Copies of this chain bind each other. A is one copy, B any other.
């Protein structure tokens, strides 16, 4: 009988071509697949299932994957083995034994993402890969006025990038918060929802920044959602500011 393992990992997305396995490219899933198969010592191909993809340059503090091993390994031993075999830009945070009905993708109940915006006039050299840069003035009150229009169950067709493979664009957002870290010249957005569409958070961040800057009105958001047309919200905040914080099961 196979043992199923739930693994919580973090990675610096800078040097990965995203999560999904692709031939000849360094991806998170690709590295995981190769490490897990080296470790399993069986001839069968062990498949690694992720909670969902992250794009190139997107980071994770709490991505979750699962896989089955034919041989039992105590959780702490597996954690040490994986960490020893991982490259330095990837680490295991937690290993849990789970029953075979757990699925990293299909069992998800929600996801939390963080987006960090650097608002300094020039890019801080130490933040270039870890924030999205927005050099224009931002009024956080205007952003806070717009946020309630995004919360709840909506069809987010206007805020999804082309290339999405989702059958439905209806998602529920439970909360969005934004705070100012003045000392660091940072704006920090926290998103919690049932799930998010392809590039949805980066498109929402770009939209909220335009509202904060006065380029759009907060109360234009309901109309934007109603038209179900992405061409009205063309911008996408950079991948470098986005972190998958937690997957909720």
Of B12, B90, B125, the residue contacting A89 (CB under 8 A) is B125
Q: Is A124 an interface residue (CB 8 A)?
A: yes
B-side contacts of A189, CB under 8 Å = none
User: Is the pair B128, A89 in contact by a Cβ cutoff of 8 Å?
Assistant: yes
| Majority DSSP secondary structure for residues of A touching B | loop
Q: Is A221 an interface residue (CB 8 A)?
A: no
Please count how many residues in chain A sit with their CB below 8 Å of the partner chain's CB atoms. 17
Within residues 76 to 116 of chain A, which ones have a CB less than 8 A from any CB in chain B? 83, 88-92
Task: Give Cα A84 to B91, complex, Å.
Answer: 36
B-side contacts of A59, CB under 8 Å = 126
B-side contacts of A48, CB under 8 Å = none
Output the least CB separation between A242 and chain B (Å).
14
Closest Cβ neighbor of A84 among chain B residues = B122
20 A–B contacts, CB within 8 A, in A order: A10-B124, A10-B125, A10-B126, A11-B125, A12-B125, A12-B126, A12-B128, A59-B126, A83-B122, A88-B123, A88-B125, A88-B128, A89-B125, A89-B128, A90-B125, A91-B122, A91-B123, A91-B124, A91-B125, A126-B130
Within residues 5 to 19 of chain A, which ones have a CB less than 8 A from any CB in chain B? 10-12
Other than the given A12-B128, A88-B125, A92-B122, 4 more pairs (CB < 8 A) read: A59-B126, A89-B125, A91-B123, A91-B125
